[in-house]
């Protein structure tokens, strides 16, 4: 008995030492993020409970959604067949407006409270002074030329939104005001990004749609100019936004990603260029990329684009309405826009540092 116990202790000690050695080595080679990732993969593979724990967490989320769309039995007075199956149906008797608003506001309040903690990554861009970093505030004031008006700005945005709530941008002939707004916003944005008189663009529902439109445009261009390319591809640092993965999936392209250096989070230029093939139809870069806020080496990528005769899309969704103003404040900003001869299109989100709202007029995609 004694020998078995000491053997187990010894084995435990050996395993423990090996785990520590492995952890130190992984952290050294792949950084802390790499260690956490490896650890999760290791746990998933070796501890049977972990995989099912992740699965059941996901299942709980899905069940939550299902419960949300199931009808509230107290509301469906008439027992239709659909109500019996507990799916959402148009209720026989409507909910009184006051009650409806109360319920909606209660739901909203919970979400606003989370936003106001200022801890929502990438979803919400506030204009309230006390929530802004100093440089953000300075850039905002320069951008609006209305120092200390940021809370008024929010009200103004809301009023403008309400005033045009029912207009339909589908017809610029019926709603010429929308055409005027779009043309002016695109023109100002192109100018802000140092585009010349040939830069054109359009407003979309957000960064993702701007990216989709740019990729579709390059695919259609390639179909016309290079009909022999059957599966076109685009080359990007691995830190490119997932919207490009969606675009590749929707429009039948391949996304070729280039690894980034663990320290600088930028791709190696030789590797980037080596990834280009005869099927490459567009190069991609971000200013900055959304994962670490690092601006890709766009002057170098622009140089490759010019030399290889390829277009270059710069995803400035998060930086488009921020970097130009930060630069005006005197901070050093690497060139990322239409000043560079290789840059042929850009996406920039008005609903981020343009401080508008998402959906209607939220994005400017400019193409030269
Ligand atoms: C936000 C963002 C997008 C996507 O924009 P949405 O408006 O959320 O669709 C794309 N690229 C970058 C770099 C972004 O920050």
Distance CA 190, CA 186 (A): 6
Domains annotated for the chain, with CATH where assigned, are 4-70 (no CATH), 176-367 (3.40.640.10)
Residue ID of nearest Cα to ligand 1 atom 3 = 207
**Which mutation among 123, 241, 314 tests ligand 1's pocket best, with the greatest number of atoms within 8 A of CB?**
241
CA of 349 to the centre of ligand 1 (A): 7
- Please list the ranges in the chain whose pLDDT falls under 70: 1-10, 14, 17, 19, 21-34, 45, 69-86, 116-122, 126-133, 144-151, 358-368
* Contact status, residue 206 vs residue 362, Cβ threshold 8 Å: yes
Tens of pLDDT, residues 251-281:
999 999 999 999 999 999 999 999 999 999 9
Side-chain-side CA neighbours of 163 within 13 Å: the count stands at: 9
Spell out the residues 6+ positions from residue 214 whose beta carbon is closer than 8 angstroms to its own. 247, 313, 345, 347, 365, 367
pLDDT at site 236: 98
The 10 Å Cβ neighbour count of residue 136 is 18
- Protein residue whose Cα sits closest to atom 6 of ligand 1: 207
d(CA 13, CA 78): 68
256: three-class secondary structure by DSSP: strand
Cβ–Cβ < 8 Å for 295, 334:
yes
Other C-beta atoms within 10 Å of 264: how many? 11
Phi-psi region of 330 (alpha: psi -120 to 50; beta: other; left: phi over 0): left
pLDDT of residue 253: 98
pLDDT of residue 155: 82
Cα distance between residue 186 and residue 192, in whole Å: 10
Q: Is 358 left (phi over 0), alpha (psi -120 to 50) or beta?
A: beta
Alpha helices in 85-164 (DSSP H): 97-116, 134-144, 150-163
pLDDT at 168: 84
**Cα of 225 from ligand 1 centre, angstroms:** 29
Atom number, ligand 1, closest to the C-alpha of residue 208: 9
Strand-strand pairing, 280-286 and 312-315: parallel
Closest residue by Cα to residue 145 from 187, 201, 177, 188: 188
Strands ordered across the beta sheet of 200-204: 200-204, 363-367, 343-349, 312-315, 280-286, 233-237, 254-258
User: How many angstroms separate the alpha carbon of residue 240 from the centre of ligand 1?
Assistant: 10
The residues lining ligand 1, judged by C-beta closer than 6 Å to any ligand atom, are: 206-208, 241, 243, 286, 289-290, 315, 317-318, 349
The DSSP bridge partners found for residue 88 are: none
Say if CB 298 and CB 336 are below 8 A apart: yes
> What is the pTM assigned to this prediction?
0.77
CA of 233 to the centre of ligand 1 (A): 21
Question: What pLDDT does residue 139 have?
Answer: 75
Strands (E), the chain: 200-204, 233-237, 254-258, 280-286, 312-315, 343-349, 363-367
Q: What pLDDT, on the 0 to 100 scale, is given for residue 361?
A: 38
> How big is the chain, counted in residues?
368
Q: What is the pLDDT of residues 86-145, one digit of tens each?
A: 677 888 998 999 999 999 999 888 887 777 666 666 677 765 555 566 777 777 777 766
Q: Which amino acid residue places its CA nearest to atom 2 of ligand 1? A: 317
Distance 125 CA to ligand 1 centre (A): 12
3-class SS of residue 241: coil
From ligand 1's centre to the CA of 234, what distance in Å?
A: 18
């Amino acid at each position: 008995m004694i020998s078995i116990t000491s053997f187990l202790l010894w084995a435990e000690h050996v395993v423990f030492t090996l785990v520590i050695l492995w952890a130190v080595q992984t952290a050294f080679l792949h950084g802390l993020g790499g260690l956490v990732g490896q650890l999760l993969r290791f746990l998933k593979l070796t501890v049977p409970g972990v995989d099912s724990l992740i699965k059941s967490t996901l299942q709980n989320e899905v069940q939550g959604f299902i419960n949300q769309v199931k009808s509230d039995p107290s509301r469906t007075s008439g027992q239709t067949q659909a109500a019996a199956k507990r799916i959402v149906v148009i209720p026989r008797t409507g909910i009184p407006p006051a009650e409806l608003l109360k319920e909606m506001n209660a739901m909203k309040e919970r979400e606003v409270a989370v936003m106001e903690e200022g801890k929502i990554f990438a979803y919400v861009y506030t204009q309230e002074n006390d929530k802004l970093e100093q440089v953000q505030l300075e850039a905002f004031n320069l951008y609006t030329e209305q120092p200390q008006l940021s809370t008024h700005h929010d009200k103004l945005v809301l009023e403008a939104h309400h005033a045009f709530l029912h207009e339909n941008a589908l017809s610029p002939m019926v709603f010429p005001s929308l055409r005027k707004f779009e043309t002016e916003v695109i023109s100002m944005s192109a100018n802000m990004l140092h585009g010349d008189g040939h830069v054109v663009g359009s407003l979309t529902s957000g960064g993702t749609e701007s990216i989709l439109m740019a990729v579709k445009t390059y695919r259609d261009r390639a179909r016309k100019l290079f009909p022999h390319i059957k599966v076109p591809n685009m080359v990007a640092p691995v830190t490119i936004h997932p919207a490009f993965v969606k675009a590749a999936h929707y429009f039948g392209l391949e996304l070729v990603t280039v690894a980034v250096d663990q320290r600088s989070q930028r791709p190696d230029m030789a590797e980037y260029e080596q990834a280009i093939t005869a099927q490459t139809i567009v190069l991609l870069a971000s200013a900055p990329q959304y994962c670490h806020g690092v601006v890709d080496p766009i002057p170098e990528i622009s140089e490759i684009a010019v030399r290889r005769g390829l277009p270059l899309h710069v995803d400035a969704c998060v930086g488009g309405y921020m970097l130009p103003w930060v630069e005006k404040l005197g901070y050093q900003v690497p060139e990322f826009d239409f000043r560079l001869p290789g840059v042929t299109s850009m996406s920039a989100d008005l609903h981020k540092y343009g401080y508008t709202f998402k959906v209607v007029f939220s994005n400017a995609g400019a193409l030269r």
